[in-house]
Amino acid sequence: MGVNKETGLTIGAVPISTRTGIVKPTDTVPQKSSLKNEAIHIAVLAKSLINETQIYSSEESLEILKLKIQSLASFTGRTRLEKKDQIVFWSVYGLVEILETKYPE
């Protein structure tokens, strides 16, 4: 799973070398995302904020979350997501609890 640096949204089906962990060059860049991937990514970013993972720094996590939330807000305004909204809701619910604890202001 990759991350679009402009929107903060995930990009699925990114080919990664199993030997090096580096993205393999490809002629086509996948541009799809899914709410399930977004929910997982939000959880990973939240854990980074409380130092439970070393994938992102707190600053990187906050910047990606800001972009992701803006992108998801504009997306949900244009599309009916129905039951899939629940997936993102529960990941955001956990994130809000972490943000309120770590950043009370």
Q: In whole angstroms, what is the distance from residue 8 CA to residue 13 CA?
A: 16
pLDDT of 82 above 60:
no
| β strands within the chain, DSSP E | 2-3, 10-11
State which H helix or E strand residue 20 sits in: none
pLDDT of 29 above 60:
no
Q: In whole angstroms, what is the distance from residue 105 CA to residue 103 CA?
A: 6
What's the N-to-C CA distance of the chain in angstroms?
32
User: What is the number of structural domains in the chain?
Assistant: 1
Q: In whole angstroms, what is the distance from residue 97 CA to residue 95 CA?
A: 5
Q: What is the mean pLDDT of residues 59-78?
A: 80
* pTM for the model: 0.68
Provide the residue range defining the domain that includes 83: 2-102
Q: What is the mean pLDDT of residues 25-49?
A: 77
Share of the chain above pLDDT 70, in %: 70
Q: How high is the pLDDT of residue 93?
A: 76
Task: Dig out the tokens for 24 from the structure.
Answer: 């393999």
Q: Please, are residues 56 and 65 in contact by the beta-carbon 8 Å criterion? A: no
Share of the chain above pLDDT 90, in %: 3
Higher per-residue confidence, 11 vs 30: 11
